[in-house]
Amino acid sequence: MMRRKYTWGNFAIGVVITLFTIVCLLPMVLTAVVSITNETAIMKNGYSFFPEEVSFYAYQLIFSTGSSVMRGYVISIFVTVAGTIGGIVITGLAGYTLSNKNVEYRGALGMYFFIPMVFGAGIVPWYLICSALHLRDNIFALIVPNLLFNTFNLFLVRNFMSGLPDSLRESATIDGANDITIAFKIYFPLAVPVLATVGLFYALGYWNDWWNAIMLVDDKKLYPVQYLLLQLKSQISMLRDLQYVSGARTQAPPTESLKMATSIITVGPIVLLYPFLQRYYVNGLVVGSVKG
């Protein structure tokens, strides 16, 4: 690598990058601080980075047994795990087919998947189809529609598998391996990085989704945590429920801190996945966006 002098310009660039980084992080910090600020202190001073009085009451309410936020959290986790596994399986399997050079009609099959990408029918037909398939007001309505299979991910897997050397298949065939063996013993193990990438795409998509809930679910017991969070912004009644369940009715409902605490716990799993996100998600996006 070339040597370059460290100059004022370099310092200025460092400062700009640092500033942008701080701007990215600071609002999250504020949210976290507000979530542990005593409600009366919020009423008095507004949201502040320096809480006058620290209180974990909001978190106590959220984690109390029977709280709707906890239920939503569990639903979100279930939907994310089930959906991600399903998504990886469906995408990985079809990706193998599209990259299998023995399949003569793989080009046409690719086209079949590609057409809906450029011309969709819009949300109303989609909504009516979901209703016709009874994907309403049940857990499947949160898992199956919209998220379970994504064509962009399919092409990502196909491109990765097509990039593997043809000699793999040829030599395995000479050794007498059939298609099933070649797929499960050679291709899928080699495709683990790209499957991890699409897995993270699916997982994040499910975790952050509330579209299926807003469109297809009316039963409050089935709301995933993101949708609860969206509703929490305008609903005070849910806060009362939370307090009622936890048996504490003496204190004023911690409206503001509770909102922020709920939003903070939705970020939890993302922080847990962070190392994987850095490794697989970013690479996948870069590969998917910049070709060659």
Distance in Å, CB of 240 to another protein, minimum? 20
Q: How far is the CB of 65 from another protein (least distance, A)?
A: 25
Nearest residue (CB) to another protein, 70 versus 203: 203
Which three-class secondary structure state does DSSP give residue 209? coil
* Residue 42 or 58 having the CB closest to another protein: 42
Query: How many residues interact with another protein (rule CB under 8 A)?
Result: 108
The interface with another protein within residues 246-275 (CB under 8 A) comprises: 256, 259-260, 263, 266-267, 270, 274
For another protein, the binding residue among 60, 159, 173, 246 (CB under 8 A) is: 159
Q: Closest distance between another protein and the C-beta of residue 255, in Å?
A: 10
Residues 6+ apart with CB under 8 A from 67: 61, 242, 245, 246
**Which region, judged by CB under 8 A, interacts with another protein, from 57-65, 167-175, 242-250, 276-284?**
276-284
- Residue 13 binds another protein (CB under 8 A): yes
Nearer residue to another protein within complex by CB, 81 or 244 = 81
> What is the Cα–Cα distance from 177 to 170, expressed in whole angstroms?
10
**Least separation, in Å, of the C-beta of 264 and another protein?**
9
Name the one residue in this structure whose structure tokens are 């929490």: 232
Of 200, 221, 178, the closest CA to residue 282 belongs to 200
Minimal distance, residue 11 CB to another protein, in Å = 11
Based on the shown chain and the rule CB under 8 A, indicate whether residue 94 belongs to the binding site for another protein. Answer: yes
In this chain, which stretch among 87-95, 166-174, 189-197, 235-243 interacts with another protein, using CB under 8 A?
87-95
Least distance in angstroms from the C-beta of 189 to another protein? 16
Minimum Å gap between C-beta 247 and another protein is 27
Q: How far is the CB of 144 from another protein (least distance, A)?
A: 8
Which of these, 43, 69, 73, lies nearest to 58 by C-alpha position? 69
CB 167 within 8 A of CB 173: no
One-letter amino acid at 114 equals F
Q: Binding mask 30-69 vs another protein (x if CB under 8 A, - otherwise)?
A: xx--x-------x--xxxx---------------------
Among 14, 66, 193, 268, binds another protein (CB under 8 A): 14
From the list 122, 165, 176, 247, which residue makes contact with another protein (rule: CB under 8 A)? 122
Q: Write down the residue that tokens 């996006």 correspond to.
A: 285
- Alpha-carbon torsion 100, 104, 107, 113, what sign? negative
Q: Which is nearer to another protein, 16 or 66 (CB)?
A: 16
| Among candidate residues 140, 114, 138, 141, the one with its CA nearest the CA of residue 127 | 141
Structure tokens that stand for 59 in this block: 């978190």
Residue 25 C-alpha from the chain's centroid: 19
Which is nearer to another protein, 10 or 66 (by Cβ)? 10
One residue of 56, 63, 113, 276 binding another protein per CB under 8 A: 113
Classified as helix, coil or strand, 71 is helix
DSSP state of 253: P
Q: Which own/partner contact pairs does 36-42 have at CB distance under 8 Å and 24+ positions apart?
A: 36/257, 36/261, 37/257, 38/257, 39/251, 39/252, 39/253, 39/254, 39/255, 39/256, 39/257, 40/252, 42/256, 42/257
